Amino acid sequence: MTSTPPPVAKRLPHERTHHGETIIDEYAWLADQADPETVAYLKAENSYTQQRTAHLDGLRGTIFNEIKARTQETDLSVPVRKGPYWYYSRTVEGLQYAIHCRRPVQPGEVDPPSTEDGTPLPGEQVLLDGNQLAEGHEFFALGTLDVSPDGQWLAYSTDFAGNERFTLAVKNLRTGEVLADTIPETYYGSAWSADAGTLFYVTVDDAWRPYRVWRHIIGTEVSTDQVVYEEADERFWVGVELTRSQRYILIEAHSKLSSEAWYLPADAPDAAPTLIAPRRQGVEYSIEHQDDLFLVLHNDSALDFALASTPVDSPGEWSTLVEHVPGTRLLAVDAFREHLVLTLRRDGLTGLRVLPAAGQPYDISFPEALYTVGAGENDEYDTTSFRLGYTSLVTPDSVYDCDLATGALTLRKRRPVLGGYDPDGYEQYREWAVADDGTRVPISVVCRRGTPRDGSAPCVLYGYGAYEISMDPWFSVSRLSLVDRGVVFAVAHIRGGGEMGRAWYDNGKLLAKRNTFTDFVACARHLAKSGWTSAGRLVARGGSAGGLLMGAVANLAPEAFAGIVAQVPFVDALNTILDPSLPLTVTEWEEWGNPLEDPEVYAYMRSYTPYENVSDVDYPAILAVTSLNDTRVLFHEPAKWVARLRALAPRADVLLKTEMEAGHGGPSGRYDAWKEEAFVAAWILDRLGIA
C-alpha cells in the first residue's frame, strides 16, 4: 500500500451569514466546475484513490468476472402487448446497452413469445439500439421511449452527459427516418394524441425543475410549439402522460406535500386543459381513468390514502371507493376495463389487491415471509391479465402474469443466475431494532445458510431513509460476491422512508430528520448485540440522501462502524438548501424545511449536516463516490466533505472517487456499472479483512 500523502485542497475563506451566525466555508471554491483547479483537485483525488487501492486490482477483476459469469448477457425481457405488437428489450453479450424491439402479435397468440437463449424473436423490428446511439460517447441514457397509439412514431430522448437534460427526437417506425424536429432541454415523460399527430413533452427551468408542458405537431418547426401548461410555483414540478385507456392526456403538478391534476381529451389535443381538483396545501392526489370516471388516490383526511372517483364530464366531489385504513398505505391504482389493482403496503411489506367490477376484492398471495411485489408493464386497458414483478433477498427478479378473474399466477420469467445459484443455500430474516425513542425499526437480513451468530461474521448495513422511498427486499447478482464470502447483508428500514406507512415518512423529515440517523445507529448496534456481527466487522453503505445518512452517522457514532461507503452523498445539505438557484432546492424545502426563512430549521439542519459537523474524532474508513455531471447531488458536496475531513480529522482514512463522465446513477453502460460495483465491493471486503 502506497505511503503517498493525500491531496490537500487549498483553503479560501468564504463567509456565509444567516440568522445572526457567520460561518467560514473554506472549500466553497470547489463548487466551480469551470475552475481548472477544481478539476485538477478531483483528478488528484482519483489518482490518490487508485494508488491507495492498487493492491485490490486483482480482487476487483475477480469480482467483475463473478458478476459477469453469473449474468446471462444475451437475454430478452418478457414481451408486453400493446395493440397489435409485443414490445420488449434485449441485451447482447459484449454490448453495454439494451436494444428495444417489437414483434407483431400472431393470430391466436395469447402468451408472450420468448426464446430460450435470449436471441431475437423471429420477425422482430428494432425500434432503438442503445449501443448505436451511444457510439462515441462515454455516457448514454434514455429519458423517454414512447410509441404512438397507431404504432407509427417513436418519441425518444437521449442524454450523453449524465445531467438528465435530454434531447427529444421522433422516429418514423415505418421508414426508419428520424425527423429533423429535435427538441433540447426536455425532461422525462411524454404523451401522444389519439391520432398520433401531436406530441406533448416537458421542459425544465434553470433550476432543473420540470415546469412546462408543450404541444408539438409532428412535422412542424419546433419554434412553433405551444405551451399547454406552465407551473409558476417553484415548489411544484409537472409531468404529462396518456391514460392507459388512451382517451385522456393527464398533466399533474406535484410538490412534496400537495398536488393538482388537469386533463384534455386525447382526440382533441388543441383543447385547453380542464382542472380536476384545485390544489390544497397538504393534500396529495393522483389520477387514473376508467370508463366515465377519474379515479382519485388521495390523502385528504386519510393519512395512508384512500381511493375515490369523480365523473369525467364534470369533475368535482369525490365519491369514496376504498376507505382509508390506518396502517395500510395505498401507493397506486392501475385501472382496466373490468378491474382495478391497488398497490399497497402493510406491516412493512408490499402487496397487490384486485378489485373486480363484479365480485369480491382479493389480495394476491405470495409464499415467502419477506418479498417485494409491484405492478409491471401493463399497457392494455381491455385485458383480463395483470403483469407484476416479484423478488426477495434470495429470489431473483421474477415476472408473473396474474389471471384477474381467479388470481392464478403464471411465471413468465425468472432472472437467470448462472453458475449454479441455489436459493436454498441462503437465508433471509426480519429483525427489529429499538430506536432511542422506543420505536421498533425493521431490518431485513440475508446471509449464507449456517452463518454463525456469534459476532464473528462481517456485515454490510444499507440505508436510505428519505422521500418516503422504501428499500424493500431486492435480489442482487453483485451482492452474491459479498455474501458468498461470508458477509451478512442487512437493510435498515429507517424512518424517512415509507416502509411502515406515511407516518414513518413524516417522522423522518423536516424537524424529525434526526430520527433517520439514530434509527440507523440503533440498527447497527442491534446487529452487533444480537450476534449478527460486531462493530469492528460492520460497513455502512448508502447513496444520495442515503449518503447524507452515511455522513451523519459517521459524526454521530463513528465507533459503530469499521467503514462507510457514501455514494453521490448529500453531505453539504445545509449549504445546498440555502441556495435557491441550485437544482431542486426550492422543491426540497417541504422535505427538509426552509433554512433561509426559518431560524429553527437553519439551526436544526446545521446540527446534523455532515460537512458542518466534521470534528477531530476517530472516524471509520470512508469511501466517497461521486459523478462530475450529477445534477441531483452536485459533485462538490463530497469533494468539500473529503477536504474538510482531511483537514480537521487528520487520522481519518478517506478516499474520494469521481466519475468524470457520469451523472447521479454513475456509469451508464452495464459493464462499466459492474466495474464500479466491483471497485466498491473490493474496498468493502478489504475493510472487513476478507480481501
Catalytic residues: 544, 630, 664
- C-beta of residue 315 within 8 angstroms of C-beta of residue 275: yes
Q: How far is CA 18 from CA 21, 513, 602, 640, in A?
A: 5, 21, 8, 20
Beta strands 563-567 and 306-311 are unpaired
Residue 267, all three cell numbers: 382526440
In whole angstroms, what is the distance from residue 539 CA to residue 620 CA?
Answer: 9
Q: How far apart are CA 408 and CA 568, in angstroms?
A: 42
81 close to 105: Cβ distance less than 8 angstroms: yes
All residues at 6 or more sequence positions from 237 whose CB lies less than 8 Å from its CB, including other chains: 209, 210, 211, 231, 253, 254, 255, 587
Q: What is the SS3 assignment for 315?
A: coil
**For helices 599-608 and 514-529, angle between their N-to-C axes, nearest 10 degrees:** 30
In three-state secondary structure terms, 231 is coil
**Torsion angle of C-alpha atoms 644, 648, 651, 657, degrees rounded to 10:** 0
Whole-angstrom distance, CA of residue 353 vs CA of residue 364: 6
Scanning the structure block, which residue is given the C-alpha cell 365523473?
A: 311
- 94 touches 75 (CB < 8 A): no
Q: Which position has the grid cell 390523502?
A: 299
CA distance 182 to 163: 18
In this structure, are residues 373 and 389 in contact, taking their beta carbons and an 8 Å threshold? yes
Q: CA-CA distance, 106 to 85, in Å (whole number)?
A: 9
User: Hey, what's the torsion of the CAs at 465, 467, 470, 474, to 10 degrees?
Assistant: -90
Q: How far apart are CA 331 and CA 350, in angstroms?
A: 9
β-strands 459-463, 538-543: how paired?
Answer: parallel
Other residues' Cβ atoms within 10 Å of the Cβ of residue 681? 27
Return the residue matching grid coordinates 403496503: 345
Please report, as a single letter, which amino acid is at residue 488: V
Half-sphere exposure for 219 (CA within 13 Å, toward CB): 4
Q: Give the total residue count for the chain.
A: 691
- Residue 591, SS3? helix
Gyration radius from the chain CA atoms? 25
Strand pairing class (198-204; 183-192):
antiparallel
Q: Give the contacts of 667 (CB within 8 A, at least 6 positions apart).
A: 139, 659, 673, 675, 676
Burial of 74 (0-12, 13-18, 19+ CB in 10 A): middle
Residue of 215, 217, 248, 242 whose CA lies nearest to 229: 215
**What's the angle, vertex CA 418, arms to CA 414 and CA 419, rounded to 5?**
145
Query: Which amino acid does the sequence have at 681?
Result: A
